[in-house]
Each structure stands twice: as structure tokens, then as C-alpha cells.
A and B are shown apart, each in its own frame.
Chain A
Amino acid sequence: MTAARLKELLAAAVKLELATIPPYLCALYSIRPGSNQQATLVLRSVVVEEMLHMVLAANVLNAIGGRPQVAGREHAPHYPHELPDGVILDLLPFSPAAIESFLQVENPQYLPTLTAPDSAALQVRRPELHTSHAVAVSERPTTIGAFYQEITETLKAVAADIGEPALFCGDPARQIGAEFYYAGGGSPTRVTDLESACRALDEVVDQGEGDILSPYDADGDLAHYFRFQQLKYNRSYLAADEIGTPTGPAMGVDFKTVYPMLANPRTAEYDDPDLKAASVRANHSWSQLLQQLDAAFDGRPDALLPAVHTMFRLRDAMLVLLANPLPDHHGRHAGPTFEWQPFTTAKAGTNHDLSP
């Protein structure tokens, strides 16, 4: 149990939270405007909380003198993306397969023995599988819940061993607080000691997976796993409902009013020059966003402000891609590819600047 091990685990946790975001965005933006309004709200609420979780994990890592990294081919997520419990994150449109995989991601006790979404079409659309850093740093196959439990236990053990001041030696100026992170699933906790570190990590686990026996978190919000159950069963939870059987009003789920995005698309597969150029531009925005996040996590929290602008440019680019059918793909539509492809020439417009 050492601080070095903790840094390794937390660095993987930051990447794990980041990796969940693109699949949620694909599901969210593949919904045709005006349809699936409840599902849109669920997906949006979950994805902004994942953004908060990434920031919380980064705050804990910075508090112990670590350096969260999300930019660069080595650190950016690639899809399909395998998590520690064997769950594979694919880029999919809003669909039963997507919801099934979200349920697995958000289930703290998920074990790979459960049924995975394995439509034949999807299997062939998994050309290369990338393994999460969280898998690499785990000593054995684990659940996401156990992964976070190991982090919390190690934090406590190391704090007891070397003392809190020695463990929480990070520069407080590297913490991301509410002045730079706004309107995204809650307010980030500044981490300076064991108590605040545990509070930050508890929020990640509590908001995400919740307690498998109690669907509501400390704020009375339904945990992600149960929000997705509502979409799976197309029923909302009533307060008195038993776990696993929501009986409330229908959620209005309609998988037909969705842009049928190609699973795990690649820019190289886009033959149309306009489409390819738009995909490259979207990847520029995505890569720039990761660079800005990386800077924000490395002592420049104010880099989050222009990162928000980049995030919305990426959203607009995604929406245009998703509305375009792909010739030669049986009615499938284009979609964002989330490939690491930074803008490299010096001709970047002023809005491309990393600086705020």
C-alpha cells in the first residue's frame, strides 16, 4: 500500500470516468430532436455526472501530488473500450444494446457472467478492442465497485501509514472548484485531506452505481443504474416500487426515432469528402477538449472555461454527422468517431487556442 499505487489507481479512475462519456453522448445525440424526451433527460443527467466524476477523481489525484492525464494517444480513450469487469463500451446509437451496456457499466456488482449485448452486427463492428487503463492496473479481474473500494481503502491505509499531511501534499491551486466547473451534475469537492477525498469518491460511487439495494442517493436522486432500468422497461420508478420492477408512467422510449448510427465508426470508413472532413473537424474538437482538460488538471483550472466552448462545438459537429446517412452502409448513419486527432498546423483560428 503506497502512494505510488494510489496514484496509479486514481490516474486510471480519471480515464475510466472519461471513457464512459463518449458512449453516452452517442446515445444522447442520436435521438432525433423532439422524440424520447425522458430518455434524453436521463442520458443528459448521467453524462454530466460522469463529467463531474472525472473532475472529482482528478481532484483526489492532484491532492496527493499526482498528475491526471487525458490528452495524447496513450491517454485518450479508444473504442471499443474494455472496462475492468469485462464490460465493453461501444459507440452506439440509442438502442436496447446501448442501454444494456449502460446498465452493466453502472452496476457496481456486475460480473461478466451476465448476458452481454452481442448482436451479430455489433460483434463484427468491434475491429480492435482497447483495454482500459483500469484493467492494466488491476491485479485481477474486478468490478468497478471493487476498483473504487480498493482506492478508498488504499487512501485510508496510506494516510494511516505516512500521515495525512504527507499523503495530501498536492498544491491546492491544482484543485478544480465551483468557479471553473459549473452546471454539470453538481459542484466539485476540493480535496485537501482524507475526509474530503472520501467524500469526493463516495459521490462518484453513490451517484453512479448507488447501493444495489437502495436506488436513491444521498440527495434523493435515482442512481444511474436505476435511471437506465427505467429506459429498459420503459417505466418510471415510483417511490414505493420494488427494486427491478418500476411501475410508474411510461417513459416514452421509442428506438425508431433515432439516427441509426454505425457502431464504432472510424473516419477512415467515411468515403464522402465532406463527411470525412466533418469527422476530422469533430475529432479536432474532441482532441482539443482533451488537451484543455489535461491543462485544467495540470494546474490551470481556468482552462475549463474555454473547454466548455470546445465541448459545445463538438456537440454541434456530432449532431451534423449523425443526421447524415452513409452510402454503402445499409441505411446506417455517420456518427462521431472519438479518435485522437489533434489539430496540428499553425493555422488554428483564435477559438482553437488552448489559452482561455
Chain B
Amino acid sequence: MTGPRQLDGSRRLEDFLAFSAEATAFTVFELRGTGQSQAYLNTCDGIVGTEVTDCLLDRYDAARSAVVASESTLPELLRRDILSDPQLGPVARNIAKMWFVGVWYELPRAWTEAFGAREGNATFVVSTQSYTEGLLWPAIGANPPGAKAPGFGSWAHPPRIPVFP
């Protein structure tokens, strides 16, 4: 469950995207479409370290395998095994927030007190594109203000909100 995974970079990114799809309710296709996948994985690795990221991805893999023989649903297992975990929970929430807002949020003090301060663990915008690529905007059927101009007068139309499974 713990320790560095011996995975090549692309496989690791696939796993990160699979977990992210679960955590955001967007598809892997849509996540890739933001062009931010690698930047978000790098950010997570850079702040909490690859070991913690790998631990989270392993835990997700394990939950996916376990759900077949379990009476619990995958969301239930994830809530129990990842979101309720004192170390992995805040990291998982940060990943979801990063996808939606394009910002890495400083981890809570309880986390750093328990698991050690991390260099660079401040609230920051991940990349020059991450604000405009935030999932927040498609989720509410709007364009990011100041970017991805939708055309004069388009605001007269109702928002186009995607259907979530």
C-alpha cells in the first residue's frame, strides 16, 4: 500500500486521471481536455511528495478492486479509505479543488502538524492556464470571466450545464 510505485510516468498519470475522474465527476476525456493533467500531478508530487501521491493512488486501486466483492459502493469505500484518512483525505480534497479552481490550497495546519511541513505548501495558482481550465466553469455552464469569450450577447442564453452521471 505504501512506498514508491515502480510505474512509468504515463501509467502513473493514467492512475492520477482515473482517481481525479472519480473525485470530480468529470470524465478522463474531459480532464485531459483541460491540458492540465501533468501540471496537477506535478504539483501534488511537488508539495506532498511522490510517496504520498502513490499511496493515495494505491488506495484508490485497492478500493476499485475491493468493490467487486464488497457490499459497499465505490464512493463509500473512497469515503472510508481515502477521504477519512487523516493523511490522504486532505490531499484528495486538494486534488479535487485543484481541478475545479486551478489552485493548490495550503494544506490545513492539522495536516502539517501531523505529517510535517512541506516546502511550497502555500495557496497558489498552478499554471497560467489553470484558472481558465477550471472545471468550475463547465460545471456551472459559464465561461471563466475574462477568458474564453463566448461572444457578445451570449449571456442572454441560459447556461449549458452538463449532465453528471
Contact = CB atoms under 8 A, between A and B. Distances in A.
A220 interface: no
B33 A323 contact: yes
A351 B151 contact: no
Interface in B122-162: 128-129, 148-154, 157-158, 160
B73 interface: no
B152 A308 contact: yes
Contact of B32 (A33, A34, A182, A323): A323
Contacts of B157: 309, 350-351
B148 A305 contact: no
Interface string A273-312: 0110010000000000000000000000000010011011
A320 interface: yes
A324 interface: yes
B27 A274 contact: yes
Given A309-B157, A312-B149, A321-B33, 11 more contacts: A33-B35, A33-B128, A274-B27, A274-B28, A274-B29, A305-B152, A312-B150, A312-B154, A320-B34, A324-B33, A325-B32
B66 to A, nearest CB: 26
A182 B152 contact: yes
Nearest to B27: A274
Q: Which size bracket describes the interface of B in this complex?
A: 20 to 34
**Most chain B Cβ neighbours within 10 Å, of A312, A323, A349:** A323
A32 interface: yes
Nearest to B129: A33
Say what secondary structure dominates the interface of chain B.
loop
Contacts, number: 56
Interface of B: 27-30, 32-35, 128-129, 148-154, 157-158, 160
Contacts of B151: 305, 308-309, 311-312
A34 B27 CA distance: 25
Given A33-B128, A274-B28, A323 B153 contact: no
9 contacts: A33-B35, A274-B30, A308-B151, A309-B154, A312-B148, A320-B29, A321-B33, A323-B34, A325-B32
B73 to A, nearest CB: 22
A321 B32 CA distance: 9
B28 A34 contact: no
A319 B36 CA distance: 12
Contact of A320 (B30, B128, B149, B150): B30
Contacts of B128: 33-34
Given A274-B29, A323-B34, A316 B160 contact: no
A187 B28 CA distance: 42
B64 to A, nearest CB: 19
Contact of B35 (A275, A313, A323): A323
Contacts of B158: 350-351
A305 B129 CA distance: 28
A328 interface: no
